[in-house]
Structure 1
Amino acid sequence: MADTQITAITELDRSHYKTKVYAGGHFIYSDEPESIGGTDEGMTPGALLLASLGSCTAITVRMYADRKQYNLDGIKVELAICDEKDMNKETTITRKIELIGTLTDEERQRLMQIADKCPIHKILSNPIKIETH
């Protein structure tokens, strides 16, 4: 195992299904819609997954653009996935990336390539092993 790990702790009491999520000194809620018994006070687990990919994509593109001094004013990443009950090994995530700024065609093309190099994209594009103890 690596010396440095990313860790998260989730806690769920008798609430249906508002879950406390702690990571790196930060706190958020995950929940389910009221239509299935949740309180809709947080993102669903599937939305959290998309948020992770979207934020990682944007951060990776921003880091590269800053290093190369590209005139990138903003990045918008729109993501979609099927309903959680329909997810399986064939699930597809769609991602639309909008690059805002005065960029050459070559710079835009390069930033789109860099988007696929974000760590979360790499994880989700390969088999994942989950060890439960």
Structure 2
Amino acid sequence: MAHATATIGADRYRTDIVAGGHALTADEPAALGGGDTGPAPFDLLLAALGACTAITLRMYAEKKGWPLASLDIDLTLSGPPEARRIARTIRPVGLDAAQAAKLADIAERTSVTLTLKSGLPIATTLI
């Protein structure tokens, strides 16, 4: 089970996060009144999708014994709140066209991809 905590104090929007036992910092850019001391929340969302995609595709290539030298994933979130979308570009190095196409197919079924596409109920408790 995944677990994270987020704590905000007096430093305007700077938020200290602990996720999976690792410390991170989130913030807003200066243009939005933050100190730009870390990625903004939507940047972290894209990072999570990118990491899941990269790890899953690396695992798949290793399982198949494919010569994947490297993998670059570029992600962009755009659109207004009611029509947001993510564009994901995958650039594998060292694979033939059929292998690369299979990785693109697998990317559509990573756990974070499926979670984002299906939506996720959030239960909030105030204590």
Tell me the TM-score normalized by structure 2: 0.93
Where in structure 2 are there 5+ consecutive unaligned residues? none
| In structure 2, C-alpha distance between the alignment counterparts of 1:58 and 1:24, rounded to whole Å | 18
**Structure 1 residue 15 and structure 2 residue 20: aligned?**
no
Pick aligned residue for 1:119 from 108, 111, 118: 111
Once the two structures are TM-superposed, the CA of residue 19 in structure 1 deviates from its matched residue by 0.2
| In structure 1, C-alpha distance between the alignment counterparts of 2:10 and 2:81, rounded to whole Å | 26
**Structure 1 residue 38 and structure 2 residue 31: aligned?**
no
Q: Secondary structure, in 3 states, of the residue corresponding to 2:69?
A: strand
Tell me the TM-score normalized by structure 1: 0.89
Aligned length: 125
| In structure 2, C-alpha distance between the alignment counterparts of 1:97 and 1:104, rounded to whole Å | 14
Once the two structures are TM-superposed, the CA of residue 127 in structure 1 deviates from its matched residue by 2.2
Pick aligned residue for 1:64 from 57, 60, 75: 60
Q: Secondary structure, in 3 states, of the residue corresponding to 1:112?
A: helix
Once the two structures are TM-superposed, the CA of residue 40 in structure 1 deviates from its matched residue by 0.1
Tell me how large the CA RMSD over aligned residues is: 1.2
Give the ranges of 4+ consecutive aligned residues of structure 1 lying more than 3 Å apart after TM superposition. Answer: none
Pick aligned residue for 1:48 from 22, 44, 48: 44
| In structure 2, C-alpha distance between the alignment counterparts of 1:110 and 1:35, rounded to whole Å | 41
Task: Tell me, yes or no, if the aligned pair for 1:75 and 1:97 is still in contact at 8 Å.
Answer: yes
Amino acid at match of 1:43: P
| In structure 2, C-alpha distance between the alignment counterparts of 1:29 and 1:60, rounded to whole Å | 25
Pick aligned residue for 1:95 from 85, 88, 96: 88
Identity over aligned residues, as a percent?
35
Q: Secondary structure, in 3 states, of the residue corresponding to 1:58?
A: helix
Task: Tell me, yes or no, if the aligned pair for 1:9 and 1:21 is still in contact at 8 Å.
Answer: yes
